Amino acid sequence: MSKKFWLMLCAGALAIHAGASMAQAAVSTPPPAANTPENTVRQTILRLVPKAQIDQITPAPMPGFYQVIASGHLVYVSTDGKYVMNGDLIDGVKGVSLTDDAWASYRKTELAKVPVTDRIVFAPKNPKYTVTVFTDVTCPYCRVLHQQIDAFNKEGIAVQYLAWPRSGVIGEDGKPTQTYNEMVSIWCASDRNEAFTAAKKGHDPKPATCNNPVKDQFDLGLKLGVTGTPAVYAEDGTQIGGYLSPAEMLEAVQEHSTTGG
């Protein structure tokens, strides 16, 4: 893969990072010792994309390569740093995507770090399944999805929302975006669920500020490869949507349930 292609691949995520989360510009994983394959891989990525946020470097399923998650992308880099590959790695025997499996495992781990108290949750009394949804209060399909929240709950599905303002946290003028401010107001409301539902119906939330997780959740979305909303994740970390109807959602969560429900 050419340097130009890699730069094009990461340009979108890096641009959002630059405007939205300078705090995450630092490498998340501790740097390995010099003259190790991990360091060679790291230097290869940073040589191609100096501002890349490298979140994980692990041995790849295929010999001679490492798997790298950086700036919302997953690529494979040879231990000598000579080759970088982008695309699905397929198990030729089982016929499954090892890349999808790697993403799911990583996302499951990272999403588990977000406390339920930082989410806006709509759940039935005894949920059978849980999905995590990165959402934006202005996105049309997010609104359609939330209009069917009772139907999801009726199917035993708990919906846990995380904030992902599509316009980012900081605008080109250097100030917080309107959508970010609206989502902060919702997360800071005395009744977050009520404020959230009202916003999904087009009502502006009452301005409010507090210690809130909106920016952290936006940054997490970038880290997990979110590029739009809604972004729906099953319990095992697999992205199952986009917008899904209640019937489609039920089928997807049953397929990816970690509880055998």
Residue positions annotated with a catalytic role: 136, 139, 142, 166
Name 70's Cβ contacts closer than 8 Å, sequence gap at least 6: 10, 45, 49, 52, 53, 54, 55
Closest CA to 228 of 213, 218, 237, 238: 218
The pairing of strands 65-70 and 73-78 is: antiparallel
Is the CB of residue 194 less than 8 Å from the CB of residue 168? Answer: no
The owner of tokens 């010999």 is: 63
d(CA 184, CA 200): 14
In the 8-state DSSP scheme, what is residue 167? T
- The answer to whether residues 122 and 158 touch, using CB atoms and an 8 Å cutoff, is yes
Q: Are 163 and 183 in contact (CB under 8 A)?
A: yes
The Cα 13–Cα 25 span in angstroms is 12
Q: What Rg, from alpha-carbon coordinates, does the chain have?
A: 19
Judged by DSSP in three states, 147 sits in helix
